[in-house]
Structure 1
């Protein structure tokens, strides 16, 4: 299988390997040497590195790499629900299932493959999934690494049911940061948010930028299409661009919750921040045969 794309004298490469836990992973490399590693378990990105080999995603030192649990860190996909409601497991089942490499994906816009290393993955519900969530779907996910090192997710969810269904979705993105006290998030000013620490009560963001002094677990609603995470100590800024994902989840567990979380080190909350592109407040509803598309573009730039 060769998803390579020519670019100058170099090539973007895609390599399928087996990880130490026996699960297949896909290594994407762009012509400049940036890379991303995608596990077929959960369709989860476990690594995203710059062309200088700098790791941009946080993975817990206590992460469990044995299925069925999702790995603590990277970018797990929360689908068909975010949170913990009804009979479904926390954040849905997509992050805990084996995905297939999609050998014959329907075509995306032609610019989506130009000069990129990419892999197409496919998730269909098992009989067990249909018992807990009785809706037939096809979830197609393209993970791409472009020439500039952007990590781009294109998701397409199709209803192949005979009746409508609704879902929510979030890309739980664990950014690697220098120290949580050195970070600020911009692009959330004046937005309403649901506070999960206050029974999802609705508030309005009053600050110019979000900074961190305690646990934060919020869903910001109807945000702009670009959010920025500034890391003063590392002098870098993450940019989160999104389409079809109106909401933004911001989460840091802080000290008490970190100590209570088995697969997270007691002090590791200082080195991580989750900022997720999501569709939560107004679930996506698909009629039979309808398809939803969402896109998330993550990049990093040097900042002062």
Structure 2
């Protein structure tokens, strides 16, 4: 079979009969996306190694969001507003969009799927705003994973709406105590464990020895997660998303989460490209476009590129 004959996009049935899309790249990498939540649940490299964490206790059934992968937090991040925690986009059924309005030109010739979410009548009762959310999930030729979001205000009543947002990415790591995050040092953050008090990060890099739940502000467009044991570095590149959430529940919190294994906190880390501190407001007809690109590279990756002062002004586009 030639490379061009390899099936690159497959629609199939996943856990509990939920529909999912599998993207395959000719060198062996793959991505799985459930229509339930437009939820990326798997991202594998060319060797078939899983790069995302999904809990062994994840519940693939409405109304529970899937624990792990990349949940989409919209139109609310956290539980500070009137909606359910992290909004409702992550536990709604999205549709595959075949007639897609033009997206910004991709820098990659990868394989992709376009998904669409519009509010139901029930959604409009809890969040009375009409919108169209388009998500493009792209698997690049080098195995990179890109998520491009476009959210448009389609209110007919002339009213703007405001929201917060995050790509709640769960990375798979060998041992959380052996992981460090670079690119966020010296930055201010809001500590969710301290009623969102504002602090300044003091360490040269972020390491983990207890529960962490922080929202870093005015972050660079590039963040690295170094996994020493696997000799692997995840690089998060983001455009239009000024904040970065770092979360690990550690042992006590892990035991209190029903759909999360007691010891699984050791093998995951959430680093989330987000817009939280300053909510986004869209007038009718306005569209908000953001992007996150994930890559996994050998740990020889030069972390010196991650000086926030050097990359703060850089852009993906």
Q: Indicate which of 244, 261, 266 corresponds to 2:262.
A: 266
* Corresponding residue number in structure 1 for 2:310: none
The reply to whether residue 247 of structure 1 matches residue 238 of structure 2 is no
The reply to whether residue 193 of structure 1 matches residue 189 of structure 2 is yes
Give the whole-Å Cα distance in 2 for the aligned partners of 1:9 and 1:69: 38
* Corresponding residue number in structure 2 for 1:278: 274
* Corresponding residue number in structure 2 for 1:4: none
Contact (CA 8 Å) 1:37, 1:48: kept in 2 or not?
Answer: yes
The reply to whether residue 131 of structure 1 matches residue 144 of structure 2 is no
* Corresponding residue number in structure 1 for 2:96: 101
Deviation digits for residues 191-219 of structure 1 (CA, Å, limit 9, x no counterpart): 11000000000000111100001000000
Count of residues in correspondence between the two structures: 297
Structure 1 residue 11: Cα displacement: 5.5
The reply to whether residue 146 of structure 1 matches residue 102 of structure 2 is no
Deviation digits for residues 222-263 of structure 1 (CA, Å, limit 9, x no counterpart): 100000000000000000000010000000000000011111
Give the whole-Å Cα distance in 2 for the aligned partners of 1:153 and 1:287: 24
Give the whole-Å Cα distance in 1 for the aligned partners of 2:64 and 2:82: 17
Q: Indicate which of 36, 44, 61 corresponds to 1:66.
A: 61
Quick one: structure 1 residues 10 and 182, their matched pair in 2 at CA, closer, same or farther if it must change by over 3 Å? farther
Give the whole-Å Cα distance in 1 for the aligned partners of 2:196 and 2:189: 9
Give the whole-Å Cα distance in 2 for the aligned partners of 1:158 and 1:8: 37
The reply to whether residue 300 of structure 1 matches residue 296 of structure 2 is yes
Q: Indicate which of 183, 202, 217 corresponds to 2:198.
A: 202
Deviates more, 1:13-22 or 1:190-199: 13-22
Give the whole-Å Cα distance in 2 for the aligned partners of 1:225 and 1:50: 23
Structure 1 residue 8: Cα displacement: 7.1
Contact (CA 8 Å) 1:12, 1:116: kept in 2 or not?
Answer: no
Give the whole-Å Cα distance in 2 for the aligned partners of 1:146 and 1:220: 28
* Corresponding residue number in structure 2 for 1:177: 173
* Corresponding residue number in structure 1 for 2:111: 117
Structure 1 residue 61: Cα displacement: 1.0
Contact (CA 8 Å) 1:10, 1:31: kept in 2 or not?
Answer: no
The Cα RMSD (Å) is 1.3
* Corresponding residue number in structure 1 for 2:11: 16
Quick one: structure 1 residues 24 and 170, their matched pair in 2 at CA, closer, same or farther if it must change by over 3 Å? same
Per the normalisation by structure 2, the TM-score is 0.91
Give the whole-Å Cα distance in 1 for the aligned partners of 2:242 and 2:191: 17
Tell me the SS of whatever aligns to 2:83. Answer: coil
Gaps of 5+ in 1: 1-6
The reply to whether residue 236 of structure 1 matches residue 232 of structure 2 is yes
Structure 1 residue 31: Cα displacement: 1.4
* Corresponding residue number in structure 2 for 1:160: 154
Structure 1 residue 66: Cα displacement: 1.4
Tell me the SS of whatever aligns to 1:118. Answer: strand
Deviates more, 1:226-235 or 1:66-75: 66-75
The reply to whether residue 75 of structure 1 matches residue 70 of structure 2 is yes
Contact (CA 8 Å) 1:222, 1:246: kept in 2 or not?
Answer: yes
* Corresponding residue number in structure 2 for 1:3: none
* Corresponding residue number in structure 1 for 2:307: none
Give the whole-Å Cα distance in 2 for the aligned partners of 1:12 and 1:280: 38
